[in-house]
Structure 1
Amino acid sequence: MGFTARPGPDRNHTAGTTRLDPDYWHAAPTGRFEPDPKYAPVASRSEPEPQPAPAAVPPVPMWHRAVPNSPPRPPLVWLVGVHGGAGVSSLAASLSWAGDAGQRWPARIGLAADMDSPLVVLVARTHMRGLNALLRALIAHRQHATPAGSLVVGVVTIADVARPLPISVAERRDEAEALAFQLGARTWRLGWLEQWRSYEPHELAEWTPSVDSTPLHDGDPTRTPPQPVRLLAEQILTTARSAGARITEHAHRSAGKASP
């Protein structure tokens, strides 16, 4: 059981503007994420072979209205499960600033009151079905079959058992994480959480950045999220704040250029 972060690059994104709560990222860090050397491009001495155009992929499932699972405060980031049973509901219940989008992508992105944040974190379980679904979702995003303006800021894979992955499954996870890296997203791995088996999502304690000190983990997930979840939450929040700040800055610059 545990949590592992895998770094990805910071990138500029010119997505459509959205209503993002500034309290979530007013203290956003200015540092850039360094790429993982494992996925560094390899220089080639010869001209690359021409590649056939990728086949078109169908659009991902999406909400064509405001996401109905919105908490009272507008979420900074939406958690999207790429398959059923990914763990989105339990994870979203543990993060006060994240929304549960189910298995659909938010598509109504903008400034109006009924529109949603473009920031998305994809969630999958670490079995072959889940990782294949994650890979398909990332390919769809690369081929622009996701809602216009969506920004995948990260990918979370959650262990489906408390045992090491089979080699073929581990390789598929590496493949999905490599593609996420190429798309500018960060990747995180959340280990098996036995505590989540005994509770409904609404019974789980949530983590919020407004808490000055984190209570000592006492093993009761209804009192405080397990430590791996808190560590994951801190890194997702930092990444989402940085992305939100860039989007807001871009929106302000665009509005300034449009003013007479």
Structure 2
Amino acid sequence: MNAWPPVPMWHRAVPNQSGRPPLLWLVGVHGGAGTTSLAASMSWAGDAGRRWPGRIGLVRDMDSPLVVLVARTHMSGVAALEHAVLAHENDATPAGSQLVGVVTVADSARPLPTAVARRREAVEARVLDMGAEPWRLPWIEQWRELEPHRLPVWEPDAVTRPVDEGDATRTPPQPVRQVAEQIFLAARAVGMRLTDQHTVHRNTG
């Protein structure tokens, strides 16, 4: 018997304001994790709040199975992230869910306390062992004065666009751009692998 209770999940399609199906879902492991700001900065990512998408699949009208967990870097945030990772490892997440990676978002401009840093490193090591990726987002001072609707979107092809480092309403800060690009590439690779597996299964089934 599974000792892990099921994670909070959506039992219907995840509400999506963007108008197009997201490539992946950002799931906050606690309140205030930063999923709304991150999703606002990445048009291809959806904000699932604190619940995992449960109505998932690779066919039309189903939600993407790709998930990135998001947490702040205080001890309670890292502990919640660890619990969510363990829940996935112990099959307490919706069947078919694919953990692409985790993002830890700095909760302060100050260095992490040693105990928090060590625990985060342990969680990240477990994530890597599971075949997923850990990403770290530093403190973004500009985000303190911007509501999510004022955050600019970073597209995968944005390398061809001019960069304005001085205006956070026109261009996402450089750390956000880097993490966004890495998440996109990782999610696309997992998505392509799942699609290939689905195609093989359908053709041989």
Q: Normalised by the size of structure 1, how large is the TM-score?
A: 0.76
Distance 1:193 1:219 in 2: 13
Partner of 1:178: 125
Q: How many residues align?
A: 205
Q: Secondary structure at the match of 1:152?
A: strand
Q: CA deviation at 1:172?
A: 1.0
Which of the residues 12, 33, 50 maps onto 1:103?
Answer: 50
Across the aligned residues of Structure 1 and Structure 2, the Cα RMSD in angstroms comes to 1.4
Q: Secondary structure at the match of 1:116?
A: coil
Partner of 1:90: 37
Q: CA deviation at 1:70?
A: 4.6
Q: Secondary structure at the match of 2:46?
A: strand
Worse-matched range after superposition: 72-81 or 205-214: 205-214
Partner of 2:104: 157
Distance 1:106 1:173 in 2: 25
Distance 2:119 2:79 in 1: 7
| Letter paired with 2:69 | L
Deviations 1:119-166 (A, max 9, x none): 100000000010000000001001000000001011100100001001
| Letter paired with 2:84 | A
Q: Are positions 1:227 and 2:174 aligned together? A: yes
Q: Normalised by the size of structure 2, how large is the TM-score?
A: 0.96
Q: CA deviation at 1:55?
A: 7.1
Distance 2:133 2:30 in 1: 20
Structure 1 stretches (4+) deviating beyond 4 angstroms? Answer: none
Distance 1:76 1:103 in 2: 18
| Letter paired with 1:75 | P
Q: CA deviation at 1:69?
A: 2.7
Contact 1:77-1:118 within 8 A present in 2 as well? yes
Distance 2:18 2:25 in 1: 11
Quick check: which has more Rg, 1 or 2? 1
Percent identical: 62
Partner of 1:39: none
